[in-house]
Amino acid sequence: MAKRLDAILVIDVEATCWEGEPPPGQSSEIIEIGLCVLDVATLERREQRSILVRPEQSTISPFCTALTTLTQAQVEQGVPLRTACEILKDEYKARQRLWASYGDYDRGQFEAECQRKDLPYPFGRGHLNVKTLFAITHALPREVGMAQALARLELPLEGTHHRGGDDAWNIAAVLAALLRGYRR
């Protein structure tokens, strides 16, 4: 399968979460996949999308709603994770394109959940950790959060923090700024 280098898929997932340990019988599940398509040639953000995913083994806690603004009623209208993975694979060619996220959490959550639910992993092997790249390019002693990276780059935080589509949009802005720096 040939690699497509025309765009980078910037992904941010939100998952069920609790203030402490999950309730018995529940585990963290993806409830939103945020996506932003970053055009490699122009470094413009082409598309922003949010795919709500219906959890199968957990419910939205008050803590999760406070963090993400997502409610149980909203995610119940979402698609199964299998369908969301098919959208990534079919509509966005996720198996052929480089994908990026801010940190390694998103990659790990996808890998673990796909394995646990016996689903095909929707991405290829190429994953770019924007959080680590930002720290390295700015000679930081440790990684910083997305909001801090935006502030250091003097970029606004657009939308609602901890909503997948908005975070993917903002992460793509960070990545575009880093890549512009290499093209000078």
pLDDT of residue 1: 63
Token pair, residue 161, equals 């923090």
Q: What is the mean pLDDT of the chain?
A: 96
pLDDT of residue 182: 77
pLDDT of residue 5: 87
Reduce the DSSP state of residue 19 to 3 states and report it: coil
Q: How far apart are the first and last CA of the chain?
A: 32
pLDDT band at 184; cut points 50, 70, 90: low
Q: Which residue has the tokens 């040639």?
A: 41
Token pair, residue 33, equals 């996949």
Count other C-beta atoms under 10 Å from residue 153's C-beta.
16
Q: Distance of CA 27 to CAs 79, 134, 160, Å? A: 18, 31, 25
Domains of the chain: 4-182 (3.30.420.10)
**pLDDT tens per residue across span 38-85:** 999 999 999 999 999 999 999 999 999 999 999 999 999 999 999 999
